[in-house]
Amino acid sequence: MAWHLTTELAAKYRRRECTQEELLQLDDHLRACEHCLEEFSAHFEVTDGLLALAANLQTPGVAEHPNLQAYLSGVFDEIDRELVEDHLEFCRACQDQKSLLESRRRARGRFAGYLGSAFDSIRSFDFPARWPALATGLAMLLLGAVFWLKTWDRRDAEVASSQKSPSVETPQKSPVTSEVAEEPLLAITDNGVRIALTRSGDIEGLEQLSPRMRELLEPVIRTRTIGIPSAELSGKSAALMGDQPEPGTFRLISPVGRIVESVRPAFRWQSMTGVVGYTVSIYDPEYREVAVSPVISETRWTPDLNLRRGQTYLWQVTARLEDGDVRAPAPNQPEAMFRVLDGYWAGRIAEARGNYPGTRLLLGSIYAKAGMIVEAERELRELVKSNPESDFARRLLDEVIEAHRKK
């Protein structure tokens, strides 16, 4: 051989500072050089070296990824484990790395256990001078084991490098390969929530609503129309209590030709000069008197009894003057009619207003479906104001305005 074992190399080996190449070179040389083999056996404390290397074998290799190593060792808390497991679900490279580490850990455990048992036996023996070959054989066995583990470390590193696995510390999902999502058929923002109708026909943004509310709103979004029911609340031109002409007139303000939510609506009318007092009368469609007010001086009155839900009523105001009475509507004007909101829509409106305040699209649609056009127009104007570029919002508002105009 061109060179022999030096004291410096032996000391370096004792301190466990040999590189992989030096370990392989030392192993090859000891196999071929009987002189160095004897020197190595005689002058190197084999048992100490073997025990130290055995301890090294029980230490995880540096080629292992630190987070995978911690994950496999079970030291991660629940959150960190979930992060790693989420990453492993879609990263094939890290799955392969994990399998290699698990295999190596199992092999290392078996080998270290075997060596540990052997070293326990070695500690109990004194090496006689006639046993140098036995000690040398154990040293060579251990060198072979080191070489095997080093080779496996290099294999792990090559696999990880070739597959370019992403970092487990910052899990990143694989790039989306599907086509970029298409623009929805319509999209609108209502009370901070984006509502959209996709091209596949799905409606997004209604998840917070109850099934009953979604059932009311989804047709509006799909058809881009509310579908306001017709409510004939225009009275015929006839006097309730006579047809003689009146010398003066005044006008009723509300409710006229509309649906009211309250069972005790407030009645309002214009004032008239020279009036001693006013009297309000409410009638059913058969002209039967339902309620009448006392003589009052104000131009506003609320009945003290509940009107029936779903029922249509007529009303008039009589202004009492010094020289006679004047009624409104006048005999040549249409009757003043209104309807009390029925129980079904009263419940839906109360639910929407109580559970989803500020949802202009929902409230405006329900008001319109219930026939409460004034309230629906108010909500939809706010919706258009917050979505000025939305043709959908403008279309719904136009529908309500047209219904209001026809009344």
The per-residue pLDDT for 264 is: 97
Distance CA 30, CA 67 (A): 39
What is the CATH number that goes with domain 182-224+342-407?
1.25.40
Distance CA 319, CA 301 (A): 14
- The boundaries of every CATH 1.25.40 domain in the chain are 182-224+342-407
Q: What is the pLDDT of residues 26-53, one digit of tens each?
A: 777 766 777 776 666 655 544 444 444 4
Q: What are 332's two structure tokens? A: 């040549």
The per-residue pLDDT for 96 is: 74
Number of residues that make up the chain = 407
Q: Could you tell me the fold of the domain covering 242-332?
A: Immunoglobulin-like (2.60.40)
The per-residue pLDDT for 192 is: 93
Distance CA 114, CA 141 (A): 12
Q: What is the pLDDT of residues 317-358, one digit of tens each?
A: 999 998 889 999 988 889 999 999 999 999 999 999 999 999
Q: What are 12's two structure tokens? A: 């370096």
The per-residue pLDDT for 25 is: 75
361 CB neighbour count, 10 Å cutoff = 27
Distance CA 208, CA 213 (A): 10
- The boundaries of every CATH 2.60.40.10 domain in the chain are 242-332
The per-residue pLDDT for 87 is: 66
Is residue 319 exposed (0-12), middle (13-18) or buried (19+ Cβ within 10 Å)?
buried
Rounded to 5°, the CA angle 324-328-331 comes to 90
Q: Which residues of the chain have pLDDT under 50?
A: 1, 45-64, 127, 130, 159-160, 163-180, 236-245
103 backbone dihedrals φ, ψ, rounded to 5° = -65, -45
